[in-house]
Amino acid sequence: MSRKRFNFKRFAQAASIALWAALACSGQVQVADAKAGDHSGAAADNRHFSERNPRYHLSRGDILEITFPRTPEFNQTATVQPDGFIDLHGAGDVYVFGLTVPASLEAIRAAYAKILHEPLVTVELKDFEKPYFSAFGQLARPGRYDLRGEVTVTQAIAMSGGFAYGANEGDVLLLRRFSQEMTEVKRIPVKQMMKTGDLREDPLVQPGDILYVPKSFLGKIDRFIPNASVGAMMKPY
């Protein structure tokens, strides 16, 4: 009597397809693949992913120094409040959260144009939240890390202590805020990159990025399982 073996590979493939189909259908993420060995568009795609929104965007708690060379009585220091607004002397509240410094300058100038004729304004970012990235999932030291200089995905993994037991090294996820409503997700084949030594698909991490290392299929299996489950696993897939 022949004993049939459970096909782990087919099951893992089916589970992976089902997961990414659910994410795509949800409309909450945009997925960009970086398949190892396919370099026809990978380099251009990675440059696009790495360079998107490279300028700093204002966050809560940031401090702006606003100067009026012609009307110094309006000189002031403004802090971005928890609701994203700054309180301007004589011009009311202006929403600046998520804006770049040049964009905030235009918003401030527009607010003062209501009370000043062609206001001349300069804006300087005096203090801000230090750039960081977050790393979660199957890593030795998950958490939040300061982003100093250029850091790639593989370097970020090393800063986080490397892969932990049961990590899916072949399908690391890099999440980046795309807009107020959307987050872009890029799949990074780290295992294949390290195997081939080809780091062209190793994008730079940007401030606010989230690195997530999921569990591998085998890593999702508990150390102890009921005997009944073992019998179910041996049934034909």
49-58: pLDDT as tens digits? 545 546 788 8
87 touches 22 (CB < 8 A): no
CA–CA dist 66, 205 (Å, integer):
31
Q: Is the pLDDT of residue 208 over 60?
A: yes
pLDDT score, position 19: 47
pLDDT score, position 56: 81
C-alpha distances (whole Å) from 72 to each of 66, 67, 111 are: 10, 7, 16
Q: Are strands 132-137 and 210-213 parallel, antiparallel or unpaired?
A: parallel
Residue matched to tokens 């304004």 = 121
Q: Is the pLDDT of residue 100 over 80?
A: yes
**Of 31-40, 67-76, 122-131, 178-187, minimum mean pLDDT range:** 31-40
- Ranges of each domain in the chain: 8-54+131-220, 63-127
Report the CATH architecture of 63-127: 2-Layer Sandwich (3.30)
Report the CATH architecture of 8-54+131-220: Roll (3.10)
How confident is residue 216, by pLDDT bands cut at 50, 70 and 90?
confident
Q: Is the pLDDT of residue 42 over 60?
A: no
CA–CA dist 176, 169 (Å, integer):
19
Whole-model pTM?
A: 0.51
- The amino acid present at 192, given as its one-letter code, is Q
Structure tokens at 41: 């568009």
Instruction: Select the more confidently predicted residue: 190 or 19.
Output: 190
The DSSP string of 40-107 is TTHHHHHHHHHHSS-S----TT-EEEEE-SS-GGG-EEEE--TTSEEEETTTEEEE-TT--HHHHHHH
Q: Is the pLDDT of residue 110 over 90?
A: yes
DSSP 163: B
Instruction: Select the more confidently predicted residue: 191 or 224.
Output: 191
How confident is residue 9, by pLDDT bands cut at 50, 70 and 90?
very low
Tell me which residue of 71, 51, 200, 62 sits closest to 128, measured CA to CA.
62
